[in-house]
Structure 1
Amino acid sequence: MDADRVDCVGALVYDGEHRLLVVQRANEPGRGLWSLPGGRVEPGEDDPTAVAREVAEETGLRVEVGEFVGEVERDAPNGKLYVIRDYRAEPVGGALVAGDDASDARFVNREEFDNLPTATLLASTLAQWNALPG
């Protein structure tokens, strides 16, 4: 594995109204910006395990991880590269509450999403994947 690549995952979680679950980042990178719940894959984890853990830590929700949606690369500190693999995930329990690296967490519709300060390229990537909220 390339030491300069950091494996990460993200989750596309929708509610019954096809609103998208987003979190406001409490830490860098992107502090204050809204993004998908997610983070680094820990040693020994596969992607679905990491997705479920990150969603639970950041939003309090338990999810069942579904299909792979896409992969993006984003610049990381110290010349590294975040390689983020995003998956669909279905909420199956828990209660929505911001935790861990998130200062807020909520489901948003398209109008609300369009008015949030979102992480770099998030909106255009979701549009490419036909994954914007309803």
Structure 2
Amino acid sequence: MTDTAPADRSRRDYPDRPWVGVGAIVWKGEEVLLIRRGRPPRLGQWSLPGGAQALGETVFETARREVTEETGLTVEPYEVVTVVDAVTRDDAGLVQYHYTLVEVAARWVSGEPVSGDDALDARWVSIDEAATLVSWGETERVIRLSAARRSP
């Protein structure tokens, strides 16, 4: 037995492992839900709602919870669209953030988007408007990929 405490694995900046995050591509008709991020990385940027998966929580449960926390909406996830690596390095080249993002498509069930938790704003937008608002190209790609997979 050792007296050494376990390493702090709760740090999101300069982590010792990648974090699993779940992003939700929420559809209401032809519009997609965007949030304006209230925390780093990408503070202030428009993005998909989402966040870290909790221990014992499925990917779909994470998507539901995160959308509700960030926007107040009720959604029903229905498919994994893709997986994206998000690695942010600092000026010295060290990994400051590392997320493996599972991108999940979901249908709007009820509610109106109201920013909450770590979102500064939340709104429904067209695919073309989303393309002008998001600054990370992967977000636009994921939205368009999900749109192409939807049934008419």
TM-score range, shorter-chain basis?
0.7 to 0.9
TM-score, normalised to structure 1, is 0.85
Once the two structures are superposed, what CA deviation does each residue of 1:32-77 show, in whole Å capped at 9, x if it has no partner? 1111000100111111110000000011101111111000000157
1:20 equivalent in structure 2: 32
Correspondence for 1:111 among 128, 131, 144: 128
Runs of 4+ in structure 1 deviating by more than 4 angstroms, as ranges, are none
CA-to-aligned-CA distance 1:61-114 (integer Å, 9 cap, x gap): 011111110000001576352000011111112331010110000011133223
Give the aligned residue type for 2:36: Q
d(CA) in 2 for partners of 1:84, 1:33: 17
Cα RMSD for the two superposed structures: 1.9
Identify unmatched segments of 5+ residues in structure 2.
1-15
1:4-15 to structure 2, matched below 5 A, reads 4-15=17-28
Corresponding residue number in structure 1 for 2:147: 131
**Percent of aligned positions with the same letter in both sequences?**
36
How has the CA–CA distance of structure 1 residues 81 and 61 changed in structure 2, closer, same or farther, with 3 Å as cutoff?
A: same
Question: Scaled by the length of structure 2, what TM-score is found?
Answer: 0.76
Unaligned runs of 5+ in 1: none
- Aligned to 1:131, the other structure's residue is in SS state helix
Distance 1:67 1:100, change over 3 A: same
Q: How many matched pairs?
A: 128
Which structure is larger by alpha-carbon Rg, 1 or 2?
2
